[in-house]
């Protein structure tokens, strides 16, 4: 078996934390409905985790098949190719679900408008922690790595919030 799938784990966590946060913050800002926010989060996390799992499996398997066919056999034989693709896709999907749970948790306990700030804080703390740990493991500045992970990732959440405000102020008239 090959090394731990760090790429898929970090990608799944980061993408889910940010995507789910963007959706729940935008919908909370636009509707202030716990039911709509939580339903949307569940749909996004389930559909996206399945999509990311399938995409990881198919893209990894395709890349390895193409490399295998071109003579770059490396350390993988056909059986290992399938095993690695399945393992990597499992980690992607599981990481995606975990990341989604992080972002939506405050909305289960607090009314949506008041849950926005705790959701952002929890998500930022989680993203920073992921970046910090990655920095420690990669032997680079962990604080810089944590800040990079947090700041680069949160642009999508900010856009989700702004879209929710815009929708509340302009689309509700339709």
Write the pLDDT tens digit of every residue in 79-107.
777 888 899 999 999 999 999 999 999 99
Q: What is the pTM of this model?
A: 0.85
Please check the confidence at residue 172 and state whether its pLDDT lies above 70: no
- Return the pLDDT at 1: 43
- Return the pLDDT at 154: 82
In sequence order, what DSSP letters do the residues of 74-141 get, joined into one string? TT--HHHHHHHHHHHHHHHHHHHHHHHHHHHHHHHHS-HHHHHHHHHHHHHHHHHHHHHHHHHHHTS-
Reported as a pLDDT band with limits 50, 70 and 90, residue 42 is very high
**Mean pLDDT, rounded, for 112-119:** 95
**Mean pLDDT, rounded, for 51-65:** 89
Judge residue 109's burial from the number of C-beta atoms within 10 Å of its C-beta, 0-12 exposed, 13-18 middle, 19 or more buried: exposed
């Amino acid at each position: 078996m090959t090394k731990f799938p760090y790429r898929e784990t970090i990608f799944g966590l980061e993408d889910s934390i940010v995507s789910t946060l963007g959706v729940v913050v935008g919908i909370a800002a636009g509707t202030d409905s716990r039911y709509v926010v939580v339903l949307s989060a569940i749909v996004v996390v389930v559909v996206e985790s399945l999509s990311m799992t399938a995409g990881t499996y198919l893209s990894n398997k395709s890349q390895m098949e193409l490399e295998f066919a071109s003579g770059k056999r490396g350390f993988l034989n056909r059986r290992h190719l399938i095993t690695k693709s399945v393992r990597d896709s499992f980690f992607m999907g599981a990481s995606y679900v975990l990341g989604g749970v992080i972002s939506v948790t405050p909305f289960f306990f607090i009314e949506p408008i008041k849950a926005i700030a705790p959701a952002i804080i929890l998500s930022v703390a989680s993203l920073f922690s992921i970046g910090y740990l990655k920095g420690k493991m990669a032997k680079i500045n962990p604080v810089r790595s944590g800040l990079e992970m947090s700041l680069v990732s949160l642009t999508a959440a900010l856009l989700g919030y702004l879209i929710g405000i815009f929708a509340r102020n302009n689309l509700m008239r339709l």
